[in-house]
Amino acid sequence: MRLNFTLNGIAETIDTPSGQLLSDIISILDRNPESSGAYIGTAGCREGKCGRCLVIIDGEVRHSCLVPGFSIRGRKIITYEGFKTSDECSVILNGFESAGYSPCRLCLPGRVLLTKALLDKYTMPTDDQIAEGFAAVQCHCSGFLPFYEGVKTAARIRRSR
């Protein structure tokens, strides 16, 4: 199956067996020596629970381990590796830091992408709106309140710019 799509702003074409998932496709691209590194490469649950494989597809946060490869034709995909050097990412990381919110390195990419998608949708998300996004990651060890505060602080910094 031949697929054309955009990954972190770069047009990609790949031939993959049908039935492959987006997380597999991104891993294959990462193994290409010419790849600029699209994916954090962390093994996760592959069941849509841990949130370590989150990506943004056309503005929507999705678990790449649940996205069928054929469905990404023509779509725009952003991974944390592609997002982390942007000013937008710095604002979110500043917000997290100022609020004292620090998830582990495995959870950070997903939380940052969730926050980006939330702030693109809502200027100042409510607790319910943040909770909706939070449901995409299983780990609760860094707590709900610090995450809510981190998102709201990032929203305030973003609005003040």
Residues near ligand FES (CB under 6 A): 44-46, 48-53, 63, 65, 103-104, 106-107, 139, 141-142
* Closest C-alpha to 73, from 8, 14, 19, 23: 14
83: tokens are 């997002």
CB 40 within 8 A of CB 79: yes
8: tokens are 């972190």
User: Rounded to an integer, what distance in angstroms lies between the CA atom of residue 96 and that of residue 100?
Assistant: 6
CB of 112 to ligand FES, least distance (A): 13
Give the residue at shortest CB distance from ligand FES. Answer: 44
Q: Which residues are CB-neighbours of 134 under 8 A, at least 6 positions away? A: 114, 144, 147
User: Rounded to an integer, what distance in angstroms lies between the CA atom of residue 122 and that of residue 76?
Assistant: 21
Nearer to ligand FES, 130 or 158 (CB): 130
DSSP E strand stretches across 22-91: 54-57, 60-63, 76-78
CB of 27 to ligand FES, least distance (A): 11
CB of 4 to ligand FES, least distance (A): 24
Nearer to ligand FES, 51 or 125 (CB): 51
CB of 42 to ligand FES, least distance (A): 8
User: Rounded to an integer, what distance in angstroms lies between the CA atom of residue 84 and that of residue 91?
Assistant: 11
Nearer to ligand FES, 82 or 103 (CB): 103
CB of 128 to ligand FES, least distance (A): 22
Nearer to ligand FES, 6 or 27 (CB): 27
